[in-house]
Amino acid sequence: MPSVEVLRVTGGRRLSGEVRLSGAKNSVLKLMAATLLAPGTSVISNVPEILDVEIMGELLRRLGCEVAHNPEKATVTITVPERPDHRADYDLVRRMRASICVLGPLVSRVGAADVALPGGDNIGSRGLDMHVDGLRRMGADVTSEHGYLLAHSPGRLVGAETWLDFPSVGATETILMAAVLAEGTTVIDNAAREPEIVDICEMLQAMGARIDGVGTSTLTIEGVEALQPVSHATVPDRIVAGTWAVAAAITQGDITVRDARADHLSIALEKLGTAGAQVDILDDGFRVRMDRRPAAVDIVTLPYPGFPTDLQPQFIALNSVAEGAALVTENLFEARFRFVQELARLGAEVRTDGHHALVRGRSALSGAPVEATDIRAGAGLVLAGLVAEGTTTVYGVGHIDRGYAGFVPALRSIGADVVREEVSEA
Ligand code: EPU
């Protein structure tokens, strides 16, 4: 009988102790793709131990790169050939949507990119129109055929003025990576400002790119003819950091998060303060303590520096056991409330209407089998399981593993009763 992995979380333990962060999933994959922009050997450090890093490594290998991952040193060394291949196949793209981030570097470096279309996923339809529009403005010919996005540029791309309808993280990255090698100036107005965008800008600058306005909504890029390989450390994962912060608050515990950037998490930490937690900012991270039942907190997800959508499920979990009611508004991904149905299996009282969810706090949840539908839903369900009476069995562990390196050992080290088990699939 085929078996699947589950997490068995037995609730009721107060978590207390220290955890250390590694680099951000949502940065490292783009940094790896950005190495395509320069022939030679680049080294990325502070790399998290997650499956997506392996998938991106495999994608780069198929493009002709040599990729060596050293988990002990948390580095990935990538040697990029003079002329990489330009096709990203569906078998990899379907496993990792972020594969699309090779689009920009390939068009600007080799004049062509054939990238399988990722399609929708569990959190929504996730369009690519702004990526395509940006590349077209720079002179690329972009079509879609047989499930592939085909982008070609007979000569060098040409800098252009672009204005994003919405500060999309992915579109900002695609246009940025195309623009650094284009001829002339590109302006990206209404650009995303996430710390992961700043991270990639800093890496590109160290490679020789000329970018102004880093960290603001207007990026101005002066194209250069060639870039050099680089050594660059990945920015710490603010979403993993925020997940630990909620773990402290929901279990009425005391967690210190090291190697973190508290300034990348200001709104979320402030919300925890409103919920009744004591938050101390440290030189290398922060500490969150909670000594009572949390108070409900309203949340509105927005592009950075607004409240991150990737922490929304974790805060719904917190609100589900809080005192009072909270209104949670999701503005980025239409299907992110899917996990609410799973949370309801634990007894949470949540009503959704379009992109709003009304969460009425319960004094207790009760453990049950649940299914993680995406990475952050998985984190939210584990957090809820930590305070539910009895045992919560979380299916869909593969989703959690994609975003949370060493999650189970770290949880156990601070007192959680969590085990990973194989169970047979009925
Ligand atoms: N959108 C379009 N057209 C586009 C681009 C985006 O309609 O051309 C829409 C999307 O459909 C979505 C919204 O704009 O509704 C936001 O998309 P964005 O491009 O900002 O997000 P992304 O680049 O696809 C990254 C992270 C997400 C994170 C978002 C927002 C990676 C690999 N993914 O996605 O992370 O939620 O930014 O911060 O960087 C996660 O880690 O769990 C995760 C989903």
At 47, the pLDDT band (50, 70, 90 cuts) reads very high
Active centre residues (catalytic)? 121
- pLDDT for 272-324, tens place per residue? 999 999 999 999 999 999 999 999 999 999 999 999 999 999 999 999 999 99
Q: State pLDDT tens for residues 363-415.
A: 999 999 999 999 999 999 999 999 999 999 999 999 999 999 999 999 999 99
Strands (E), 71-182: 75-80, 87-88, 112-116, 141-145, 148-152, 161-163
Question: Where do the domains of the chain lie?
Answer: 3-21+236-424, 25-233
pLDDT tier, 124 (very low <50, low <70, confident <90, very high otherwise): low
Pick from 162, 172, 332 the residue to mutate for probing ligand 1's pocket: most ligand atoms within 8 Å of its CB.
332
The encoded tokens of residue 277 equal: 């937690």
**Is the Cβ atom of 171 under 6 angstroms away from ligand 1?**
yes
How is domain 25-233 classified at the architecture level of CATH?
A: Alpha-beta prism (3.65)
Task: Give the whole-number percent of the chain exceeding pLDDT 70.
Answer: 98
Identify the pLDDT of residue 420.
97
**What is the model's pLDDT at position 127?**
86
What does the pLDDT look like over 172-224, one tens digit per residue? Answer: 999 999 999 999 999 999 999 999 999 999 999 999 999 999 999 999 999 99
**Residue whose entry in the numeric block shows the structure tokens 């584990």:** 382
Residue 52 beta carbon below 6 angstroms from any ligand 1 atom: no
In the prediction, which pLDDT does 118 show? 85
- 371/366 Cα distance (integer angstroms): 15
Architecture of the domain defined by 3-21+236-424 = Alpha-beta prism (3.65)
Sheet with strand 66-70: strands edge to edge: 66-70, 75-80, 40-45, 231-233
Report the predicted TM-score, pTM, of the whole model to 2 decimal places. Answer: 0.97
- DSSP assignment letter at 367: -
Burial degree of 320 (CB within 10 A; 0-12, 13-18, 19+): buried
Could you give the CA distance from residue 211 to residue 188 in angstroms, rounded to a whole number?
11
Domains 3-21+236-424 and 25-233 share a fold: yes
pLDDT score recorded for residue 186: 98
Q: Atom of ligand 1 at shortest distance to CA of 26?
A: 39
Distance 183 CA to ligand 1 centre (A): 28
Q: Is 130 in the pocket of ligand 1 (CB under 6 A)?
A: yes
Tell me, using a 6 A CB cutoff, whether residue 375 lines ligand 1. yes
If one compares 333 and 37, the residue with the highest pLDDT of the two is 37
